[in-house]
Structure 1
Amino acid sequence: MRRTLLGTAVVAFALLALAPAAMSGESVAPTLAVKSSSFGRVLFDGRGYVLYAFTRDKNGRSACYGACAKAWPVYYAKGTLRAGTGIKRSLIGTTKRRDGRRQITYAGRPLYYYVGDTRPGQILCQNVVEFGGTWLIVRPGGKLVR
């Protein structure tokens, strides 16, 4: 019985941890939005999950693959991206990943989720150094929050 409960708890935690990754595979067109946070107004997806940029990414290309992409799921482009109020359409773009899929960029920066942000509005890894770079949230004008 104890093993079953422990196994169930582990599976439940894993599913919660994968919530942002599942969102990046959503079947509806992705949405970029600006919302208020404890860091001021920053970028979120249409479901209220914050989006991060990685300082190791250069020239609009992602440097986050393998274990990095598991901890920091990619914000993929599927269909036409919707730009919410406060989003500058001229700053929206995409970059091609090694697997050929398109990752959404903003101001030339590839965008990611953090797997630990399991609820809309959570910002658990702002200004965190991991995988050889710093993870930062993004302002509507494209600047990183430091």
Structure 2
Amino acid sequence: MFARSRIALAVAPAALLVLLSACSAPTTPAAPYPATTTASSAPMSSAPASSAPAPAAADAATLALGVATTGLGSILVDGKGMTLYMFTKDTQNSNASACTGQCLAAWPPLYGKPTAGKGADNSKLGSFALPNGATQATYNGWPLYYWKGDAKAGDTSGQKVGGVWFVLDKDGNPVKS
């Protein structure tokens, strides 16, 4: 019995160190969202570079927004089933994004003009021009984003991140529960 206790006491600090290092070194899964035409290892600035090319719009299949059933209920997804999010720091119907700089590395926008897929309301689809010349998709007036932590269709790990990122229901309202 004492030998097990000694082993547990000896292993506990090492396990704690592994857990802490995992928290401080973020991992980046393969991006399931559409890639952009720009590739740079330099950090993104909050001001768009006028000489940088605009990110490429997603393909037509991706831009066909739909509704999928998840543990969060019926939520908005792109045409490939990837979850889309809204940012509470954005202003609905403002045709502007408050996500800039490093925010965009974690929350890439859905670029392009969306179409209605299964379950999406065509009247809620929209888009607006960004300062860099790209077009960002909207639903019910909310700019749409992906979360870098979602690896496959149906993932919703971006829900409630920082208390400001939420999935949208079929009507385009944030799901906060």
Which bin holds the TM-score, normalised by the shorter protein? 0.7 to 0.9
Give the number of the structure whose alpha-carbon radius of gyration is greater.
2
Q: Which residue of 2 aligns with 1:135?
A: 165
- Counterpart AA for 2:156: I
Please say if residues 75 and 113 of structure 1, whose CA atoms lie closer than 8 Å, have aligned partners that are also in contact: yes
Question: Could you state the TM-score of these two structures normalised by the residue count of structure 1?
Answer: 0.79
3-state secondary structure, aligned to 1:22: coil
Question: Could you state the TM-score of these two structures normalised by the residue count of structure 2?
Answer: 0.66
Match of 1:32 among 65, 78, 84: 65
- Counterpart AA for 1:141: D
Q: Structure 1 stretches of 5 or more lacking a match?
A: 1-12
Match of 1:55 among 45, 70, 88: 88
Q: Which residue of 1 aligns with 2:101?
A: 66
Identity over aligned pairs, percent: 38
Task: State the superposition RMSD in angstroms.
Answer: 2.0
- Counterpart AA for 1:27: D
Distance, in Å, in 1 between the alignment partners of 2:143 and 2:150 is: 18
3-state secondary structure, aligned to 1:53: strand
Which has more strand, going by share of residues? 1
Distance, in Å, in 2 between the alignment partners of 1:21 and 1:72 is: 12
> For 1:86-130, what per-residue CA distance to the aligned partner results, in whole angstroms no more than 9, with x for missing partners?
21111111022120211000010000000110111101010111x
Task: Note if 1:86 corresponds to 2:119.
Answer: yes
Please say if residues 21 and 74 of structure 1, whose CA atoms lie closer than 8 Å, have aligned partners that are also in contact: no
- Counterpart AA for 2:60: V
Please say if residues 58 and 111 of structure 2, whose CA atoms lie closer than 8 Å, have aligned partners that are also in contact: no
Q: Structure 2 stretches of 5 or more lacking a match?
A: 1-26, 37-55
Please say if residues 21 and 113 of structure 1, whose CA atoms lie closer than 8 Å, have aligned partners that are also in contact: no
Q: Which runs of 4+ in 1 moved over 6 A?
A: none
Distance, in Å, in 1 between the alignment partners of 2:122 and 2:165 is: 23
Distance, in Å, in 1 between the alignment partners of 2:74 and 2:117 is: 13
**1:142 deviation in Å?**
1.4
Q: Which has the higher contact order (CA 8 A, sep 6+)?
A: 1
Please say if residues 72 and 115 of structure 1, whose CA atoms lie closer than 8 Å, have aligned partners that are also in contact: yes
